[in-house]
Each structure stands twice: as structure tokens, then as C-alpha cells.
């Protein structure tokens, strides 16, 4: 299970509020731009000389022919650049796309130029149009890059967390399967005790009677029948532990044989079809073949115990890069909404499938009757 200690070990990027990110970007951009303003001063003078006649032509009364300089003007210039950088960074963080960012950045630049022009007309504070272009571009680009970086970090964290949970689930699956195997061993011990051992005791009792009267045909017949039954029980137990058909004849024959045995137990009609070449099935590892067979076997066992079906059909086919095993019946069906919580058997089927990266799906059968179990296994490349 996932524990708090394990979760603390996962890498997590710092959760910085969007406003704080914008302010940090704006401070860096503004300071950089002010330092750059010294190199852009000649360009700013040229721009100022160009717009001054244009402002005069508009009928604006300028306070003087030269712009003022000083601490107050520098402070106001910094505030304007800082505000522009904040707005540009915020736009980059929120819009998250260069195409969406172009128009807002242009509007922001024009708005900042308008404010600086007004301050120049009113207070002769030098406008920094060229620097504003740099601030707008750097602020918007900084916000966009930071947002993209954070998105990548979140995606990596999400994948890491999913991998962590996957490993936790696999660990739990292995533990559950160990518990299931331990349960199977106890069931095996109980079967040997309740069936085989009791049958041998009965044979021994009958044999004692036969020793007293060797001509007792009824006793000799009972002994022979007892031995036959015991041999059959032992074969079934051995086949459950290690299917002989799977070892000697492969998965196709093992699944078909399992279906035949289900017919003998429950009396339903069967249909088996396999369109996959034996070469494809033989390329599967022993573990993969064994687990796929167990999944099919468990499905047939569930049908025999619960479905009350008249017909059962199995189809083994290849669908692109997947091996699909479909087991369909026309029985009473199950509740598909809660299929994963219905029984431990179905949960164990999912766990076994997970061990070989397979999937198990439960669907309604034809015309909504019965159940269709589909086992999907990705074939090796």
C-alpha cells in the first residue's frame, strides 16, 4: 500500500503561486533592461527626436525641448518597465502559447508607450520605447518558458507518481498471489486428506473384508472401483498443479481440453476456434502461456459454477499486435459495473493478467445474454 513515508520520497517541484512567478520574472527583466538602457540610449534619443515634432503637430504643448533626468525620472521609468514586465510575464504564464501571446504583447507594448508619451508630455520624463520592446518580449517569453517548464515538471511528476502507484500495485499483486498460492496449497492438502486419503481408508477396510473372504466378488469390485476413483482424483490434482496438455501439446490444445472437461462437468455445448498459428503461440514464454491458460481455465470454471449456461464458445485470434482469447456463454451474466469487486476470483484474474501486462475485460454476451470474457495480451515484437 502507498504510505506517507513513500510519498515523501517522491520528487515534487516547489508550488510557487502564479503572481509570485510573474513578480520574479518582472524584477529580473526590469533590472536587466535598465542595465541595457545605457546601450540603447542613442537609439532612445533618435526615437525621441522623431516623436517630438509629431507630438507638436498634434497640438500638444511640450514642457521643454529636453527630457528631464534624475532619481525621480529613473524611478518612474523603472516602475513603468516593471509594470510592463509583470503584465507581459502574466500573459505568458496564462496564455501558454506563442500564437495567442503575440496580440496581447503588442497591445501591452502600445499601452506602455502611450503611458510613457503622456508622462513625457506632462513631466518631461524620458520615454524608453526601445527598452520597452525588450521588456515586453523578455517578460512574455520568460512567462511562457517558465510555464512550459512547469508543465513539463508536472507531467514528469505525474508519470513518476503513476509509476510509483504501478509498482505499489504490482507489489500488492505479488503478495496477493502468494497468499492465493498458499490458499491453493491448503486446498490441495484438504483434497488429499478428504478425497484421496479417505478413499484409501475405504479401500483398506474393503480389503480387510476381502482377506477374510477372497471369494467375495462385491468386495473385489469395490476395491477395483476405489482404486480407479483414487487414480482419477490424483490425476485431477496433478493436472490442476501442472496441466499435462499445456506441457506436452501447447496452449491451444490445453484450452480446448479444459473446455471439453467443462462440458463433461456441466453438460453445456461447446465451440472452440483458434485462428492463430501455432508458431505464434510457441513464441510465448512458459510463464505467459501458463498464466493465459489459467485465465481461460478460471473463466471456464466460473461458467461451470455460476453461469448455468447452455452454450460456451472460445475464440483465440490475433488482433493487430494483440492475442485475444474470448470466452463467451449464454448464462445468467454478471453485474458489469461492479465486476472488479464481485469476487476474489475475478480480482485474482486481473492480478494474474497484470503480471504479464495483459488485460481482462468482462462484457455482455450476444443479444445481452450471458458473459463474454476477453483476455488481451500484447504479443512480443
pLDDT of residue 16: 55
Per-residue pLDDT reduced to its tens digit, 332-369: 988 766 565 556 678 778 878 888 889 999 999 888 88
pLDDT of residue 72: 74
Are residues 343 and 362 in contact, defined by beta-carbon separation less than 8 angstroms?
A: no
Could you state, in order of their start, the residue ranges of all structural domains in the chain? 18-164, 250-378
Looking only at Cα atoms, what is the longest distance across the chain? 141
Sheet holding 269-274, edge to edge: 269-274, 311-319, 322-329, 371-378, 359-364
Residues lower than pLDDT 50 in the chain: 1-5, 7, 12, 65, 67
- Measured between alpha carbons, how far is 293 from 258 in angstroms, rounded to an integer? 9
**What is the percent of the chain with per-residue pLDDT over 90, rounded to a whole number?**
19
- Measured between alpha carbons, how far is 330 from 186 in angstroms, rounded to an integer? 33
- Measured between alpha carbons, how far is 258 from 244 in angstroms, rounded to an integer? 11
- In 3D space, the residue among 152, 156, 151, 187 whose CA is nearest the CA of residue 11 turns out to be 156
CB atoms within 10 A of CB 197: 12
Radius of gyration of the chain (CA): 40
Q: What residues contact 80, with CB distance under 8 A and at least 6 apart?
A: 112, 115, 116, 119, 128, 132
Mean model confidence pLDDT for the chain: 80
In which element (H, E) is residue 362 found?
strand 359-364
Q: What residues contact 241, with CB distance under 8 A and at least 6 apart?
A: 188
- Measured between alpha carbons, how far is 331 from 163 in angstroms, rounded to an integer? 39
**Alpha-carbon distances, residue 90 vs 85, 96, 145, 176, 195 (angstroms):** 8, 10, 12, 51, 77
Q: CA end-to-end span of the chain, whole Å?
A: 33
pLDDT of residue 9: 55
pLDDT of residue 74: 74
Cell (9 digits) for 41: 540610449
pLDDT of residue 256: 95
**Alpha-carbon distances, residue 308 vs 311, 330, 341 (angstroms):** 9, 8, 21
Are residues 96 and 147 in contact, defined by beta-carbon separation less than 8 angstroms?
A: yes
- Measured between alpha carbons, how far is 193 from 183 in angstroms, rounded to an integer? 15
Instruction: For the chain, give the number of residues.
Output: 381
pLDDT of residue 216: 78
Return the CATH fold of 250-378. Heat Shock Protein 90 (3.30.565)
pLDDT of residue 187: 64
Per-residue pLDDT reduced to its tens digit, 293-326: 989 998 998 999 888 999 999 999 999 899 999 9
pLDDT of residue 4: 43
pLDDT of residue 348: 76
pLDDT of residue 209: 80
pLDDT of residue 312: 96
Amino acid at each position: 500500500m502507498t504510505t506517507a513515508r513513500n510519498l515523501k520520497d517522491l520528487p515534487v517541484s516547489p508550488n510557487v503561486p502564479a503572481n509570485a512567478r510573474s513578480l520574479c520574472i518582472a524584477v529580473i527583466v526590469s533590472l536587466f533592461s535598465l542595465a541595457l538602457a545605457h546601450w540603447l540610449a542613442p537609439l532612445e534619443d533618435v526615437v525621441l527626436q522623431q516623436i517630438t515634432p509629431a507630438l507638436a503637430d498634434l497640438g500638444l504643448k511640450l514642457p521643454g525641448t529636453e527630457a528631464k533626468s534624475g532619481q525621480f525620472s529613473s524611478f518612474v521609468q523603472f516602475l513603468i518597465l516593471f509594470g510592463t514586465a509583470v503584465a507581459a510575464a502574466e500573459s505568458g504564464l496564462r496564455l501558454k502559447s506563442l500564437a495567442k501571446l503575440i496580440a496581447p504583447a503588442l497591445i501591452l507594448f502600445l499601452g506602455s508607450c502611450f503611458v510613457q508619451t503622456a508622462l513625457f508630455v506632462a513631466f518631461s520624463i524620458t520615454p524608453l520605447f526601445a527598452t520597452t520592446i525588450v521588456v515586453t518580449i523578455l517578460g512574455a517569453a520568460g512567462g511562457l518558458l517558465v510555464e512550459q517548464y512547469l508543465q513539463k515538471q508536472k507531467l514528469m511528476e505525474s508519470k513518476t507518481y503513476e509509476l510509483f502507484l504501478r509498482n505499489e500495485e504490482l507489489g500488492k499483486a505479488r503478495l496477493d498471489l502468494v497468499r492465493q498460492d498458499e490458499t491453493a496449497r491448503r486446498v490441495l492438502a484438504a483434497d488429499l486428506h478428504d478425497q484421496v486419503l479417505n478413499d484409501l481408508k475405504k479401500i483398506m477396510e474393503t480389503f480387510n473384508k476381502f482377506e477374510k473372504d477372497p471369494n467375495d466378488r462385491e468386495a473385489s469390485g469395490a476395491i477395483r472401483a476405489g482404486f480407479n476413483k483414487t487414480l482419477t482424483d490424483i490425476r485431477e490434482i496433478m493436472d490442476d498443479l501442472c496441466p499435462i496438455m499445456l506441457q506436452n501439446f501447447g496452449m491451444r490444445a490445453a484450452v480446448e481440453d479444459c473446455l471439453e472437461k467443462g462440458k463433461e462437468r456441466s453438460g453445456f455445448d461447446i465451440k472452440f476456434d483458434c485462428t492463430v498459428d501455432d508458431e505464434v503461440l510457441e513464441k510465448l514464454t512458459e510463464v505467459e502461456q501458463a498464466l493465459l491458460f489459467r485465465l481461460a481455465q478460471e473463466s471456464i470454471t466460473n461458467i461451470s459454477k455460476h453461469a448455468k449456461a447452455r452454450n460456451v464458445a472460445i475464440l483465440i485470434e490475433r488482433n493487430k499486435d494483440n492475442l485475444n482469447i474470448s470466452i463467451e456463454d449464454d448464462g445468467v451474466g454478471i453485474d458489469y459495473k461492479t465486476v472488479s469487486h464481485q469476487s476474489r476470483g475475478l480480482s485474482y484474474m486481473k492480478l494474474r493478467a497484470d503480471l504479464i501486462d495483459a488485460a481482462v475485460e468482462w462484457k455482455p454476451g450476444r443479444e445481452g445474454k450471458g458473459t463474454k470474457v476477453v483476455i488481451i495480451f500484447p504479443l512480443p515484437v
